[in-house]
Amino acid sequence: MTYQSKHTQIKSPKEWYNFVAEEYWKYHTLINSFDQWLSKRFFPRGKNNLDIIDLWAWDGRLFPTLKNLNPQRYVACDIAEKLLKRHPWTNNIEKIICDLEENLPFEDNSFDLATSFFVLEHINNIDHLFSEVYRILKPGGRRIIGHFIQRREFTWKKNNQEFKIQFYNHRIQDLEAIADNNFFSKDIFPIEEKGYTIGHILILSK
């Protein structure tokens, strides 16, 4: 994975993540330490029987962290069917193919916690997504978002081919305004590395 490319094909997130489904696990180590830090600081503590939805669940990269919350319901939602099939399967996991640009196939007030990591850069209509997540959260429910600042596309390589994934560069100021417009209360924490802000954690509560 690099930033440099020439005459590189642009793939949709659905196309790309289905294409790399069998080898996406190689990238887990890049962000495992972040997941551990995140779970210690921002995930609910001392709560059991939560209904959790992982929006853009990939191949279950975040599942080892989320299962420690002992949810009574866990829904893994992703647009890439081949990637989602590689998610660890247990009896209490629901795997749902869904497009976060569209209406989410869940009832109102269904979940205590919704997570989204490394996702928003793939979504054009953020306002609609925030509205849908607000709808499916229970009163008092929480959405936790990990959003990294990415000013240009990565170039990915597979089988001697180079591709970029279509992405949208959402500013944190715009995300704050959209959260306000959709009635969330919010806390925002910068992610810093070597003195630079490289992203943010957004905690949105209904």
Mean pLDDT, residues 16-39: 72
Mean pLDDT, residues 122-137: 96
Looking at per-residue pLDDT, the higher value among 80 and 162 belongs to 80
Q: Which phi-psi region, left, alpha or beta, contains residue 106 (left: φ > 0; alpha: ψ -120 to 50)?
A: beta
C-beta of residue 108 within 8 angstroms of C-beta of residue 135: yes
Q: Which CATH number fits domain 9-39+73-205: 3.40.50.450, 2.60.40.3620, 3.30.70.100, 3.40.50.150?
A: 3.40.50.150
State percent of the chain over pLDDT 90. 47
Question: How far is Cα 78 from Cα 80, in angstroms, rounded to an integer?
Answer: 6
Phi, psi of 116 (to 5 degrees): -150, 120
- Quick one: pLDDT at residue 67? 86
Q: In the block, which residue shows the tokens 């929006």? A: 55
Q: In the block, which residue shows the tokens 């959405």? A: 143
Mean pLDDT, residues 67-82: 92
Q: Residues in the chain, how many?
A: 206
Q: Where does the pLDDT of residue 17 fall: very low under 50, low under 70, confident under 90, or very high at 90 and above?
A: confident
- Helix count (H) and strand count (E) of the chain? 6, 10
- Quick one: pLDDT at residue 106? 97
Looking at per-residue pLDDT, the higher value among 17 and 187 belongs to 187
* pLDDT above 50 (res 5): no
Q: Where does the pLDDT of residue 3 fall: very low under 50, low under 70, confident under 90, or very high at 90 and above?
A: very low
Question: How far is Cα 165 from Cα 13, in angstroms, rounded to an integer?
Answer: 6
What value does the mean pLDDT of the chain take?
85
Q: Tokens in use for 56?
A: 């853009």
C-beta of residue 129 within 8 angstroms of C-beta of residue 17: no
